[in-house]
Chain A
Amino acid sequence: MDIQYYLQQLVNGICLGGMYALMSVGYSLVYSIMSFSNFAHGGVIMVGAYVGFFALTALKVPFLVAFLLCGVGSGLLAIIIERLVYSPLRQRHAPSLYFIISAMGASIFLENFVIATIDGTPRNYPTLFSNSIKIGSLSLGLDSLLMIIVSAVSLLILMFIIQKTKIGLAIRACSYNEKAGTLMGINSSLVIFVVFMMGGILAGFAGMLYGMRFIVKPTIGQVTNKSFVAAVFGGLGSLPGAIIGSVLLGIMEIFVASINSNLRDLFVYALLIIVLIIKPSGLMGKVVEDKA
Chain B
Amino acid sequence: MFSWYYIEGILIQSCYTLLIVLGLSILTGYTGMFSFGHAGFVCIGAYVSVLCTMGFGLPYLLSLLIAGVVAMIFGAALGKITLNLKGDYFCIATLGVGEAIRLIFNNLNLNLNIGGKTFILDGAKGIASIPLHTTFPVALAIVVIFLTATAFLMNSKHGRSMLAVREDELAAQMSGINTFRSKMLAMCMSALYAGIAGGMLAHYFGYLQPKMFMMVKSTEYTIMVIFGGMGSITGSVLGTVLLCALPELLRAVGDWRLVFYGLAVIVIMIVRPKGLMGGKELPVGKFFRWIGRLLTGKKNDPPPDSDPPGEEVPA
Contacts and interface: CB of A to CB of B under 8 A. Distances in A.
The answer to whether A binds B is: yes
B215 A112 contact: no
A104 B214 contact: no
B273 A98 contact: yes
A159 interface: no
Contacts of A290: 86, 169-170
B99 A112 contact: no
A279 B89 CA distance: 11
A110 B216 CA distance: 13
Nearest to A106: B266
A265 B223 CA distance: 26
A277 B89 CA distance: 10
Contact of A273 (B93, B170, B270): B93
B241 interface: no
Contacts of A265: 99, 103
B170 A292 contact: yes
Interface in B29-44: 34
A107 interface: yes
B222 interface: yes
Contacts of A270: 96, 100
Given A98-B273, A263-B107, A108 B265 contact: yes
Given A222-B215, A262-B107, A288-B86, A116 B254 contact: yes
Contacts of A88: 270
B277 interface: no
Interface stretch (B54-62, B192-200, B255-263): B255-263
B246 interface: no
A36 B36 CA distance: 14
A101 B270 contact: no
A188 interface: no
Contact of A109 (B89, B263, B269): B263
A280 B266 CA distance: 29
Contacts of A65: none
A272 B92 contact: yes
A129 interface: no
A36 B269 CA distance: 15
A85 B266 contact: yes
A35 interface: yes
B104 interface: yes
Contacts of A4: none
A96 B91 CA distance: 12
Nearest to B255: A116
B150 interface: no
Contacts of A104: 219, 222-223, 265
B223 A36 contact: no
B157 to A, nearest CB: 25
A21 interface: no
Main secondary structure of the interface of A (DSSP, over half): helix
Contact of A269 (B85, B100, B170, B222): B100
Contact of B88 (A36, A277, A292): A36
B273 A100 contact: no
Contacts of B215: 222, 225
Contacts of B91: 37, 97, 100
B32 to A, nearest CB: 8
A9 interface: no
Contacts of B82: 276-277
B226 interface: yes
B10 interface: no
B304 interface: no
A276 B226 CA distance: 26
Interface string A186-229: 00000000000000000000000000000000000010010011
A277 B96 contact: no
Contacts of B81: 277
B89 A266 contact: no
Contacts of B214: 222
- Residue from B103, B169, B263 with most neighbouring chain A CB atoms (10 Å): B103
Interface in A144-181: none
A37 B104 CA distance: 25
Contact of B262 (A106, A263, A276): A106
Contact of A110 (B34, B85, B262): B262
B97 interface: yes
Contacts of A115: 255, 258
A225 B99 contact: yes
B87 interface: yes
Given A36-B88, A269-B103, A276-B92, A89 B269 contact: yes
Interface of B: 34, 81-82, 85-89, 91-93, 95-97, 99-100, 103-104, 106-107, 169-170, 214-216, 219, 222-223, 226, 254-256, 258-259, 261-266, 269-270, 273
Given A88-B270, A111-B258, A288-B86, 19 more contacts: A36-B88, A37-B92, A84-B266, A97-B87, A101-B269, A102-B265, A104-B219, A104-B222, A104-B223, A105-B264, A112-B256, A113-B259, A269-B100, A272-B93, A272-B96, A273-B100, A276-B82, A280-B86, A290-B86
Interface of A: 35-37, 84-85, 88-89, 92, 94, 96-98, 100-102, 104-113, 115-116, 120, 222, 225, 228-229, 232, 236, 262-263, 265-266, 269-270, 272-273, 276-277, 280, 288, 290, 292
13 contacts: A94-B273, A97-B91, A98-B273, A100-B34, A102-B265, A104-B219, A105-B264, A106-B266, A109-B261, A110-B262, A116-B254, A266-B107, A269-B97
